Amino acid sequence: MTNFHFENSHAVKKMLYGRVELENTTALLHFSKKGLVQELLHNLKYRGHEQIGKFLGDWLGEELAKIEDYKDIDIVVPVPLHRNKRRERGYNQVTKFGQAIAKALGSEYNEGVLVKIKHARTQVFKDRNTRFDNANTRFALGEVESLEGQHILLVDDIITTGATIEACVTLLNTIPNVKISVATMAIAE
């Protein structure tokens, strides 16, 4: 466990420092190659164990509900999958995670805010610059009419270089007067 949210750690914020402005950031677990968390996320993403997302969301949601900085979250928004990838996999690995956190915080959950418009191969083997270039052209805003002035919690499975989160936050920041926080299942070491 990272305990970032309990310790007011800014490890995720530091990763994105100077790139985007965020209210609060956290990651539940540390990710390392060939580690237990990698196996857990692999089972979630590629072996159909969607219940892992709910388990991790229930866990993090229960913890965030106790922290003042997360009590004003209005809406939880997942990083989207491209429709082709979603059709192939059958689900977005972040959906149940985000839904569980939204429920724990008494917030709305909305998958239509961000849309993935460009299908890209897995980012795993790409360097930071390639990830950033790809991320900047892959997302668009969807349903945002009622989000002005809202506190948005963006959720994803793992943060490695921060390119995907940065691209999504940059788009969300075009909505007037929003505050954005980030919560992920894991952060790469």
Helices (H), 21-75: 36-46, 51-64
Cβ neighbour number for residue 18 with a 10 Å cutoff: 6
Percent helix, percent strand, percent coil in the chain, to nearest 5? 40, 20, 40
List residues bridging with 78 in a β-sheet: 155
Helices (H), the chain: 4-7, 11-16, 36-46, 51-64, 83-89, 95-105, 128-136, 163-172
Q: What is the pLDDT of residue 90?
A: 87
pLDDT tens sequence across 151-168? 999 999 999 889 999 999
pLDDT tens sequence across 47-77? 989 999 999 999 999 999 999 999 999 999 9
pLDDT tens sequence across 93-131? 999 999 999 999 999 999 999 999 976 655 555 555 555
pLDDT tens sequence across 1-13? 777 777 766 677 7
d(CA 81, CA 78) in angstroms, rounded, equals: 9
pLDDT at residue 146 greater than cutoff 60:
yes
The pTM (predicted TM-score) of the whole model is 0.87
**Between these two residues, 18 and 177, which has the higher pLDDT value?**
177
- Cα–Cα distance list, 118 to 19, 51, 126, 158 (Å): 22, 27, 16, 20
**Between these two residues, 2 and 22, which has the higher pLDDT value?**
22
What domains are defined for the chain? 9-188 (3.40.50.2020)
Quote the mean pLDDT of the chain.
Answer: 87
